[in-house]
Structures are given as C-alpha cells and as structure tokens.
Amino acid sequence: MKLRRAVITAAGLGTRFLPASKAVPKEMFPVYDKPAIQYVVEEAVAAGIREICIVISADKGAIKQHFGRDRAMELVLAGKGKRQQAGLIRKLAGMARISYVLQREQKGLGHAVLCAERFAGKEAFALLLADDLMYGAANVLTQLDRARRKPDGMALAVEKVSRQMIPSYGIVKIKRGGRGAYDIEDLVEKPRLKDAPSDLGIVGRYILTGEIFKALKRTRPGALGEIQITDALRGYLKDGGNIGAGVFGGTRYDAGDKLGLIKASLEMALRDKMAKGEMRTYLKGLMKKR
Ligand code: UTP
C-alpha cells in the first residue's frame, strides 16, 4: 500500500547547539536558503506523502509559524511587487497537510513517536528525524518502502559508520534475504565498540507500522534514561516481527551538529548554479589563508 503519512520528530532539546538553540529551534537554523526541517518535509512530499505530523516541544512554535499560511505577509509582498516571494511562501504553506503534536517532556525519540500514535493509526507510516538531511539520487522513503520484506513489516535506513561513531548509533546485524534485500536479525542502541554486531548504524528514516506503538508501550527507558526506538524495534523483532534494511548510499548531513550544519550549508550553496562560482573562489581563498 502506498505510504500516506509521515511523522517528523523535532522535539529534542538540541543541547549540542546551545546557546544558539536557546530561543530558536535548531530545526529552524538555515541550511543555505531554507530551514533544515523544510528539506525533511520536502523529502516526505517527494515520496508522495501529503499528511505530516510534526512532534514539537512547547518552545518550538516557530516551526508551526514557518509552515502556516501568512496571508498578511503575502499581501505585503505582492503590494511591493514581490510576486515571486509571495508565491514562494504561499506554496510553502500548501505543500502538505501538516499537524502538530506536543511532546511535553523530553523522554527520548521513542516517546516522541508514541506521541504521534493517534495520527499514525494502524497503517504503515514514515518516520523522519528532523535533523538528518539526506541527499541522494533516489528518494530514501521510496527505497525503504521497497525494502519492507512483508506487507506488514517495517524497514530502517542504515549506513556504514566509522569505528569511533559506533557507540553513538543504533547498530544492526543484518542477513541477506532474496533479491538483494536485507533482513535485520538484531539491533542494539549505542553499543560499546566490542559489543557492536556490525558497523551499520541506523540513520533517521524508518517505515513503521502500528505495531511499533505496542512495542514502545512495553519498552522501559534505556540508554540516557530515554525511551529508545531501537529498544522497541528489538522487542518487536523478538516477538516475531520482520524488519528490512535499506542501505543508504547518498550523502547524509547531521544538521543537529555544528559542523554537520556548516557542511550541509556549504554543499547546498555549491549545488546552486548562481552561488557556486563565488563560493568556490571564496573557499579556495580561505584555504590559502589557513
Ligand atoms: P537527538 O539525539 O538529535 O537529540 O534526537 P536532541 O535532543 O534533538 O539534540 P541534542 O543531542 O541534545 O543536541 C534525535 C531526534 O529525536 C528527536 C529530535 O528532535 C531528533 O529529531 N527527539 C529526541 C524528540 O523529538 N524528543 C526527544 O525527547 C528526544
């Protein structure tokens, strides 16, 4: 069945970005010419999804404002002859049907997903982490939907991670299934290097079904005292559930990290025909000075 719904989690504290994230949600930090979260919404829309629920915390109203319709601003812009910009912000508000759910306490990603239970219902849905930006030839969600091994199964995007980063990720053990697909055999959140079953880390894209909510409700707080989605997925697997893996082959930026955000911005600027020349000259000059 075609994916109709997506949940985007954006309720995290953003401690890595303090003090910048104190008043402005980190998801609203610009990546070249758009806030980070807009790329994620656009990715879901490109996969044909029209119903999106963003999980936010009480201090992230700017996200709502960004995707909401602002007729007064459209009129002011049109009145000044800025029709293109007026069209741009109108289009932004009409991209998808976006609703919001509040995560009152920051009890982890798993808990944030649980907050969207009513929105998601029983049907398969996509989960996108607002600070993971994916850039590649194919749409990750479309690929992941194909990586589901059973109609009622789930699928996760994974990527090879460096040794020193293994303890920061959910790590999976996979086995090869038919037709170049992979089944997940086991998964563990933030393992010690010696306990890691592989070097394949879970990245911020998932296809989940209603079964995840049952599993989340049974999951006790794990690493960092938070309810971890990886632990819930492990429970689902142990109860006979099926999880496919899609190996992501594009470029991923962690926009929740200072350097990750700068890298994403630079690369987006270099991909813009209008800015590319000036950016290259500037970067070359900068490197000579260092
Ligand atoms: P992160 O691990 O990036 O945590 O969350 P964070 O709190 O956002 O940022 P730091 O580490 O303090 O700098 C991964 C994803 O889970 C969401 C985040 O918004 C992000 O999409 N999340 C995390 C929630 O929605 N709620 C939580 O309680 C925790």
Q: What is the CATH number of the domain that holds 26?
A: 3.90.550.10
Q: Is 198 exposed, middle or buried (0-12, 13-18, 19+ CB in 10 A)?
A: middle
As a whole number, the mean pLDDT across the chain is: 93
Range of the domain at 28: 5-289
Within 8 A by CB and 6+ apart from 97, the residues are 50, 51, 52
pTM: 0.95
Kindly tell me if the per-residue pLDDT of 150 is higher than 90.
no
Does residue 54's CB lie within 6 angstroms of at least one atom of ligand 1? Answer: no
Q: Look at residue 180 in the predicted model and tell me its pLDDT.
A: 64
Ligand 1 atom nearest the C-alpha of 111 is 28
Which residue of 7, 8, 9 sits with most ligand 1 atoms within 8 Å of its CB, as the best mutation to test the pocket? 9
pLDDT tens-digit profile of 23-35? 999 999 999 999 9
Number of helices (H) and strands (E), helices first, in the chain? Answer: 11, 13
Coil, helix or strand for 55?
strand
Task: Enter the tokens of residue 220.
Answer: 């006790």
What's the average model confidence in pLDDT over 148-174? 91
Does residue 265's CB lie within 6 angstroms of at least one atom of ligand 1? Answer: no
Coil, helix or strand for 236?
helix
Count of domains forming the chain: 1
Task: Enter the tokens of residue 88.
Answer: 């741009």
Kindly tell me if the per-residue pLDDT of 185 is higher than 70.
yes
Q: Look at residue 176 in the predicted model and tell me its pLDDT.
A: 81
Q: Look at residue 155 in the predicted model and tell me its pLDDT.
A: 95
The helix-helix angle for 211-218 and 229-238 (nearest 10°) equals 110
Does residue 211's CB lie within 6 angstroms of at least one atom of ligand 1? Answer: no
Evaluate whether 253 touches 260 at the Cβ level (below 8 Å). yes
Within 8 A by CB and 6+ apart from 193, the residues are 163, 166, 167
**Cα separation, 29 vs 31, whole angstroms:** 7
Phi and psi of 269, rounded to 5°? -65, -40
